[in-house]
């Protein structure tokens, strides 16, 4: 039986250094590609052809926030699921986000790579989630 590699994770955050660090840590520790983006419009343009398994997006970004991004992403790829990360607890504090298409959970910064990796695995939408490389 052939092993099928998991689909990529699209990682979007407007902080270049954070995207670089998390992309490196997730790539080093998860057995799936990480597609890094710092601009929401670039991520949306790439989404239809990228066949991603999951989106990880920041909440507070220029051009559009993470919620608006997920609405637009859902329009382009209705089955994609997402994790939102944010350092703005006050803005999301009492807000019910169950209406946001595909959103599975919200994690608050600073997010450790392992917590994010475990959330990606836990909320993966199909039967072929990535695994931690130490488990291989």
Where are the domains positioned within the chain?
Answer: 9-125
CA 64/CA 40 separation, integer angstroms: 7
Among 52, 94, 136, residue whose Cα is nearest residue 36? 52
Q: The domain 9-125 belongs to what CATH superfamily?
A: Response regulator (3.40.50.2300)
Tell me what pLDDT residue 88 has. 76
Tell me what pLDDT residue 92 has. 54
Cβ atoms of 4 and 108 within 8 Å: the answer is no
Per-residue confidence of the chain (136 residues) as pLDDT tens digits? 455 778 999 999 999 999 999 999 999 999 999 999 999 999 999 999 999 999 999 999 999 999 999 999 999 999 999 999 998 765 555 566 778 999 999 999 999 999 999 999 999 999 899 999 887 6
Tell me what pLDDT residue 5 has. 76
CA 70 from centroid of its chain's CA atoms: 10
Among 95, 102, 116, 128, residue whose Cα is nearest residue 11? 116
The model scores a pTM over 0.85: yes
Tell me what pLDDT residue 83 has. 97
Tell me what pLDDT residue 95 has. 63
CA 98 from centroid of its chain's CA atoms: 17
Tell me what pLDDT residue 56 has. 98
């Amino acid at each position: 039986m052939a092993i099928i590699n998991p689909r990529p994770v699209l990682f979007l955050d407007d902080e270049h250094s954070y995207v670089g660090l998390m992309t490196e840590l997730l790539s080093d520790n998860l057995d799936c590609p990480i597609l890094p983006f710092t601009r929401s419009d670039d991520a949306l343009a790439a989404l239809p052809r990228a066949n991603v398994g999951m989106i990880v997006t920041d909440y507070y970004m220029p051009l559009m926030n993470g919620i608006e991004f997920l609405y637009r992403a859902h329009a382009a790829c209705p089955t994609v699921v997402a994790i939102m990360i944010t350092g703005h607890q006050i803005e999301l504090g009492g807000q019910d986000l169950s209406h946001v298409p595909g959103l599975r959970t919200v994690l608050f910064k600073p997010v450790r790579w392992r917590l994010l990796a475990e959330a990606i695995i836990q909320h993966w939408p199909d039967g072929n989630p990535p695994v931690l490389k130490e488990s291989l």
